[in-house]
């Protein structure tokens, strides 16, 4: 146990207020139905093994085999570190203010108010931006899932011999997804994530069957970067695939033993290692198989006249279908946390279900209105994810340890500054390339 605690919190060597050392926020956190280690891991794998996984061959094709694999590792480690400092900063704030838990919104407000005086005026602004970006991002993800499910079901149905439109499939998908979104707590969603992970595993096996059936041909082109303009696109695709910050924070909050979540050997780090290994394997083998012909989703490269290819599409469709309630749960939790105290006990149950219905219907409306949201969601992802998963955690970390608790040679200060600068570059380049893609796609 001592070794685990050392590893789990080993990188947080900054000084803390001695008067709060004895207070453990985790011991005062009250969750009605907490999730075990295994259940949390299932949810995390499901939250990060989504539609972005299938775009990894396309991402590697932009950077080449070597730089692509190294880039996924770097971005994965970078994203993991950013979430780690966010969770640990929340922990320090809870200790300082003797609270069992602080949501992301309140955490960043409290952190900025305790940070440099020049930033105090912006505390409420950043708090509102966190909620806006998180909710908007989760709704966008749900809309993408609607479209992905509809497009793949359409192809499978057409393979059988029937004609159907994408919008009609979206309408057919709405009732069951709405019912799933009414599940009231995260623990009850565990079977959904378990089945979804099993479907992803079956789908990956079928996909890899096609990827390894031929001899691998290596040539110099497969080691080269296509162009400098592909680097921000590669970063954007990888971040989109990796980051599920809303899901991750919800899982940490609902975990039975949240102390096991963070650290070098914590649940989050172990889960990210599994996810990164999967991304690299699919990305490299997919690129070796299809070269520069890799499409936005590897399933689109599979033979369209073979049953195994259709089964692979169907398994990934089921996986994302079952992931929808988890993504929608995160949006509900954020909005409900801000509204439930303003509702009387008499109307709480009604408002609760009404909110769930609304948050499930908005993505449906977006998908039905424009069943080709890729370019728009790329723009939202580049903006929202960079803000809530990179820039805001670094800013919060910088404020939490202000003014003189940055550790040896102020290493936390310099690392936070680097993260903020790198995040701004990723945001600017990602938004720019997404806008160019929108112009090209829609001939604006």
DSSP labels, 183-206: --SGGGGHHHHHHHHHHHHHHHHH
Identify whether 24 is part of a domain: no
pLDDT of residue 204: 83
More confident residue, 62 or 381: 62
Residue 266 CA from chain centroid, whole number: 18
Q: Structure tokens of 387?
A: 């803000």
Spatial separation of the C-alpha atoms in residues 97 and 251, rounded to whole Å: 22
Model confidence at 112, pLDDT cuts 50, 70, 90, reads: very high
Q: At 131, is the secondary structure helix, strand, or coil? A: helix
The answer to whether residue 17 is domain-embedded is no
325 occurs within a structural domain: yes
Cα distances (Å, whole numbers) of residue 105 to 111, 193, 288? 10, 27, 44
* Residue 13 belongs to some domain of the structure: no
> Which of 26-30, 152-156, 248-252, 394-398 ranks highest by mean pLDDT?
394-398
Burial of 439 (0-12, 13-18, 19+ CB in 10 A): exposed
- Distance from C-alpha of 177 to C-alpha of 159, rounded to nearest angstrom: 24
- Which residue in 63, 37, 39, 82 sits closest to 279, CA to CA? 63
Tokens of 175: 């009732």
- Quick check: 439 pLDDT over 80? no
| Strand residue runs (E) in 291-438 | none
Q: Which pLDDT does position 306 carry in this prediction? A: 79
Instruction: Give domain status of residue 11, yes or no.
Output: no
Residues 252-257: what's their mean pLDDT?
Answer: 80
- Percent of the chain at pLDDT exceeding 90: 2
pLDDT band at 381 (very low <50, low <70, confident <90, very high): low
Residue with more model confidence, 32 or 354? 354
Residue range of the domain that includes 379? 35-442
Which carries the bigger pLDDT value, residue 46 or residue 416?
416
Which pLDDT band, with edges at 50, 70 and 90, does 324 fall under?
confident
Contact 82, 242 (CB under 8 A): no
What is the average per-residue pLDDT within 16-43?
Answer: 71
Residue 134, judged by CB atoms within 10 A of its CB (0-12, 13-18, 19+), counts as: buried
Using one digit for the tens of pLDDT, what is the confidence trace for 359-373?
Answer: 888 888 877 776 655
Q: With cut-offs at 50, 70 and 90, classify the pLDDT of residue 6.
A: very low
Q: CB 103: neighbour CB atoms within 10 A?
A: 18
CATH code assigned at 52: 1.20.1740.10
Cross-strand partners of 35: 255
**In-domain check, residue 281:** yes
Residue 378 vs residue 129, higher pLDDT: 129
- The total domain count for the chain is 1
User: 336 and 134 in contact (C-beta within 8 Å)?
Assistant: no
The verdict on residue 18 lying in a domain is no
| Cα angle 259, 195, 44; round to 5 | 25
What is the pLDDT confidence band of residue 442, given thresholds at 50, 70 and 90? low
Kindly state the average pLDDT of the residues 423-444: 73
Predicted local confidence at residue 438, as pLDDT: 66
Count of Cβ atoms closer than 10 Å to residue 231 Cβ: 17
Is 60 exceeded by the pLDDT of residue 50?
yes
Residue 106 located in a structural domain: yes
Distance (Å) of CA 261 to CA 63, 141, 203: 32, 24, 28
Residue 371: per-residue pLDDT: 60
Write out the DSSP string of 208-222.
HHHHSSS-----GGG
Report the pLDDT value the prediction gives residue 15, as an integer from 0 to 100.
45
Of residues 24, 29, 55, 73, the one with CA closest to residue 283: 55
Residue 250 tokens, joined: 């919800």
Spatial separation of the C-alpha atoms in residues 213 and 312, rounded to whole Å:
16
> What is the spatial distance between Cα 23 and Cα 29, in angstroms, rounded to a whole number?
12
Are the CB atoms for 257 and 29 separated by under 8 Å? no
Work out the pLDDT band at 215, boundaries 50, 70, 90.
low
Of 190-194, 224-228, 382-386, minimum mean pLDDT range: 224-228
Q: Work out the mean pLDDT of the chain and round it to a whole number.
A: 78
What is the reported pLDDT for 7? 40
Alpha-carbon gap, residue 115 to 253, rounded angstroms: 24
The C-alpha atoms of residue 9 and residue 339 are separated, in whole angstroms, by 34
Distance set, CA 244 to CA 49, 123, 166, 194, 393 (Å) = 10, 24, 26, 18, 14
Report the alpha-carbon angle 422-424-426, nearest 5. 70
Residue 18, pLDDT > 60, answer no
Bridge partners (DSSP) listed for residue 255: 35
Q: Is the predicted pLDDT of residue 11 greater than 60, yes or no?
A: no
């Amino acid at each position: 146990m001592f070794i685990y605690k050392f590893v789990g919190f080993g990188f947080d060597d900054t000084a803390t207020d001695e008067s709060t050392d004895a207070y453990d926020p985790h011991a005062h956190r009250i969750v009605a139905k907490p999730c075990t280690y295994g259940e949390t891991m299932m949810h995390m794998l499901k939250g990060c093994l989504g539609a972005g996984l299938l775009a990894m061959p396309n991402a590697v094709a932009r950077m080449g085999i070597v730089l692509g694999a190294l880039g996924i590792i770097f971005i994965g480690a970078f994203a993991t570190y950013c979430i780690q400092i966010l969770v640990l900063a929340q922990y320090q704030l809870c200790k300082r203010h003797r609270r069992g838990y602080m949501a992301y919104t309140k955490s960043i407000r409290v952190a900025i108010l305790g940070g440099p005086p020049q930033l105090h005026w912006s505390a409420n602004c950043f708090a509102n931006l966190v909620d806006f970006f998180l909710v908007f991002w989760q709704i966008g993800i749900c809309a993408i899932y609607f479209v992905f499910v509809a497009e793949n079901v359409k192809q499978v149905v057409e393979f059988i011999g029937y004609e159907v439109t994408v919008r009609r499939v979206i309408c057919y998908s709405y009732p069951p997804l709405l019912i799933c979104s009414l599940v009231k707590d995260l623990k009850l969603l565990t079977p959904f994530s378990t089945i979804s992970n099993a479907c992803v595993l079956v789908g990956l096996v079928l996909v890899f069957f096609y990827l390894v059936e031929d001899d691998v041909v290596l040539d110099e082109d497969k080691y080269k970067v296509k162009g400098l303009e592909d680097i921000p696109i590669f970063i954007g695709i990888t971040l989109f695939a990796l980051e599920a910050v809303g899901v991750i924070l919800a899982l940490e909050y609902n975990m039975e033993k949240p102390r096991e979540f963070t650290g070098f050997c914590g649940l989050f780090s172990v889960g990210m290692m599994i996810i990164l290994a999967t991304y690299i394997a699919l990305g490299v083998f997919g690129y070796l198989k299809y070269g520069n012909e890799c499409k936005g989703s590897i399933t689109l490269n599979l033979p369209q006249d073979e049953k195994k290819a259709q089964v692979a599409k169907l398994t990934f469709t089921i996986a994302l279908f079952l992931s929808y309630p988890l993504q929608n749960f995160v949006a509900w939790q954020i909005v409900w946390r801000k509204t439930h105290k303003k509702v009387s006990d008499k109307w709480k149950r009604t408002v609760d279900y009404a909110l769930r219905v609304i948050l499930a219907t908005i993505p449906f409306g977006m998908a039905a209105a424009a069943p080709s949201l890729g370019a728009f969601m790329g723009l939202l992802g580049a903006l929202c994810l960079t803000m809530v998963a990179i820039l805001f955690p670094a800013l919060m970390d910088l404020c939490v340890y202000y003014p003189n608790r940055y550790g040896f040679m102020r290493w936390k200060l310099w690392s936070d500054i680097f993260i903020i600068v790198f995040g701004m570059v990723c945001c600017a380049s990602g938004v720019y390339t997404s806008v160019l893609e929108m112009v090209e796609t829609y001939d604006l």
